[in-house]
Amino acid sequence: MVKKAKVQLYDTTLRDGAQRAGISFSVEDKLKIARRLDDIGIHFIEGGWPGSNPKDVEFFARAKGLKLKHARLVAFGSTRRAGIKAEKDPNLRAIVESGIRYATLVGKSWDLHVTDVLETTLKENLNMIADSVRYLKSKGLTVFFDAEHFFDGCKRNSEYALKTIEAAAGAGADCIVLCDTNGGALPDEVSEAVKAAQRFGVSLGIHAHNDGELAVANSLAAMQAGAVQVQGTINGYGERCGNANICSIIPALKLKMGIDCISDKNLAKLTDVSRYVSELANISPDPHLPYVGGSAFTHKAGLHVSGMMKHSESYQHVKPDMVGNRSEVLVSELSGISNITYKAKELGFDIPRGEKARAVLERIKSLEKLGFQYENAEASFELLIRRTLPDYKPPFELVDFMVVVEKLRRLSTVEEAEDLLSEAMVKVRVGGQMIHTAAEGNGPVNALDAALRKALLQFYPSLAVIKLTDYKVRILEESDGTKSKVRVLIESSDGEHEWRTVGSSTNIMEASYIALADSLEYWLLRWGSPAKK
């Protein structure tokens, strides 16, 4: 097991992460994220490129007011331009003028980029690196040097790639970060290159991209080979396929490699930070991210759940609460009896293993064959459990419904929305009373919802707080065309709670009604008041 006295966690979400398509952090977003990164014990936060855009200039100006407990803000920039002095380079001057005491400079280490992209000589590039590092050091800054394309450079011209490291080290760079900029390196290549760069006696870091799905693996390989600084982004955000996911790197270092890079308390905040940053990035959290994803510790197969109930480590490589996450069990046609008893207990119902649990399982399997799915419809699953209880009494029962969609011939223009009329009629029984109501709506599902509520509000006025927040329809057997089964998934909210219900049928209105009725019934049983007499 590798152990290091000091490992530097370096986050570049605010710069490299923001280069992901679709992300545009405001200055306020960046300040909020910086505070959260500091709160979990990140050592260095790369705030942006002061010389590149007004937003980053404003960020560094406002960041002076941040009261960070652990982290140091880092300004990013490039080495001086070819043919000019470092002190005259606008980019380097912007870093100095930002007032930030830590800087990361990116420079070329692949000879192809030097000659064909920068269009300068190999010797001048070495001078650019050394001059730039030396200039910032003379201003009292701590300087990290990002050796861009280092691993590609080693493959094409390893002697020159190492000379760029030597130039930065000789000029006083505090840490030299080896960059897999194209994301195509393999872990053994990374290890060999890190060991080769150690000859210069300077601290080394790793900055990996994920184009080969190996960014985290390459980062860990570099740390095992002797690197002391590891760079990454929250959730692996970044250009193209993204950067190394620091939400995976941190627990791997601490829990797998024995490197105490952050405290146990801060590690337990990791899932919250992951979801917080995804919210500010306006990107739905990826449920399948390791450690922090909503499905990272979710179990569906009956064999897995059976093992989990005996020993949690049998199907979990770490304890979920260590990273602020939690286990979850799903129920489906792949479930076993263990899934049913586990999930029922989680919901507060005691269904022991035996005939009752088996009956529930068989019921689920038969319903899933008809198109129902309970993985994302926990409210419908709870109702299914409740309906097996001998003393269960539903708050209402559907007797009949009818939906009419009619084109009004008296209107002459087909463009007008009023050209179609949607009307629903329902009969429901509450206690011993039969209610027959009708309502119009903006489409047949809305009309059905309105008619059902109209009937039930007479008895349950508190239902008025419920809103449908999402409505999804999926065709299950596309080859059957218009007679295919459909699955309707509804998400509802009362402003405080959220829940999901499911319905399925070859008739989209029946599927919609089942999901709608489940939504209202679930809320009444959970949080509603008794029926008015």
Q: Give the closest residue to 449 by CA, choosing from 467, 433, 474, 435.
A: 467
For the stretch 13-38, what's the b/e string if a residue is b when 16 or more beta carbons lie within 10 angstroms of its beta carbon? Answer: bbbbbbebeebebebebbbebbebbb
Q: Which CATH number fits domain 9-260: 3.20.20.70, 3.90.1330.10, 3.40.1390.20, 3.20.20.330?
A: 3.20.20.70
Q: What is the structure's pLDDT at 506?
A: 87
Helix axes 508-526, 378-386, angle to 10 degrees: 70
Write the DSSP symbol of residue 531: P
Residue 241 predicted with pLDDT over 60: yes
The model's confidence at residue 392, banded by pLDDT at 50, 70 and 90, is confident
The model's confidence at residue 414, banded by pLDDT at 50, 70 and 90, is very low
Q: Give the closest residue to 86 by CA, choosing from 163, 20, 171.
A: 171
Q: What is the structure's pLDDT at 2?
A: 45
Task: Pick the range with the lowest mean pLDDT from 46-50, 65-69, 86-90, 302-306.
Answer: 302-306
How far is the C-alpha of 251 from the C-alpha of 262, rounded, in Å?
9
Q: What is the structure's pLDDT at 237?
A: 97
Q: What is the structure's pLDDT at 339?
A: 66
How far is the C-alpha of 236 from the C-alpha of 228, rounded, in Å?
20
Residue 324 predicted with pLDDT over 60: yes
Q: What is the structure's pLDDT at 315?
A: 61
Element (H, E) at 274: helix 270-280
Mean pLDDT of 200-210: 97
Q: Give the closest residue to 118 by CA, choosing from 144, 90, 83.
A: 83
Give the strand pairing for 142-148 and 433-441: unpaired
Q: What is the structure's pLDDT at 470?
A: 87
**Read out DSSP for 151-176?**
HHHHHHHHHHHHHHHHHHHHTT-SEE
Residue 108 predicted with pLDDT over 90: yes
Task: Output helix, strand, coil percentages for the chain, rounded to the nearest 5.
Answer: 45, 20, 35
How far is the C-alpha of 133 from the C-alpha of 146, rounded, in Å?
11
The model's confidence at residue 341, banded by pLDDT at 50, 70 and 90, is low
Beta strands in 200-289 (DSSP E): 203-208, 229-232
- The CATH number of domain 397-526 is 3.30.160.270: yes
- With left for phi above 0 and alpha for psi between -120 and 50, is residue 353 left, alpha or beta? beta
> What contacts 24+ positions apart, CB below 8 Å, involve 346-349?
347/382, 347/385, 349/385, 349/386, 349/389
**Mean pLDDT across the chain:** 86
Domain boundaries, the chain: 9-260, 298-369, 397-526
Query: Three-state secondary structure along 182-215?
Result: CCCCCHHHHHHHHHHHHHHCCEEEEEEECCCCCH
For the stretch 266-275, what's the b/e string if a residue is b when 16 or more beta carbons lie within 10 angstroms of its beta carbon? Answer: bbbbbbbbbb
- How is the beta sheet containing 397-407 ordered, strand by strand? 397-407, 420-430, 433-441
Cβ(505)–Cβ(472) below 8 Å: no
More confident residue, 264 or 330: 264
Q: What is the structure's pLDDT at 333?
A: 47
Both tokens of residue 256? 């797998």
Q: What is the structure's pLDDT at 259?
A: 93
Residue 76 predicted with pLDDT over 90: yes
Q: What is the structure's pLDDT at 306?
A: 52
pLDDT one-digit tens code per residue, 427-481:
999 988 999 999 998 888 889 999 999 999 999 999 999 998 888 888 877 666 6
DSSP, collapsed to helix, strand or coil, labels residue 400 as strand
Cβ(441)–Cβ(422) below 8 Å: yes
DSSP, collapsed to helix, strand or coil, labels residue 282 as coil
Mean pLDDT of 408-415: 50
Cβ(45)–Cβ(73) below 8 Å: yes
Both tokens of residue 78? 């490039």
**Residues 225, 228, 229: CA angle, nearest 5 degrees:** 120
Q: What is the structure's pLDDT at 139?
A: 97
How far is the C-alpha of 119 from the C-alpha of 113, rounded, in Å?
8
Give the strand pairing for 498-505 and 486-493: antiparallel
Cβ(219)–Cβ(236) below 8 Å: no
**Read out DSSP for 100-142?**
-SEEEEEEE-SHHIIIIIS-S-HHHHHHHHHHHHHHHHHTT-E
The separation between the first and the last C-alpha atoms of the chain, rounded to the nearest angstrom, is 70
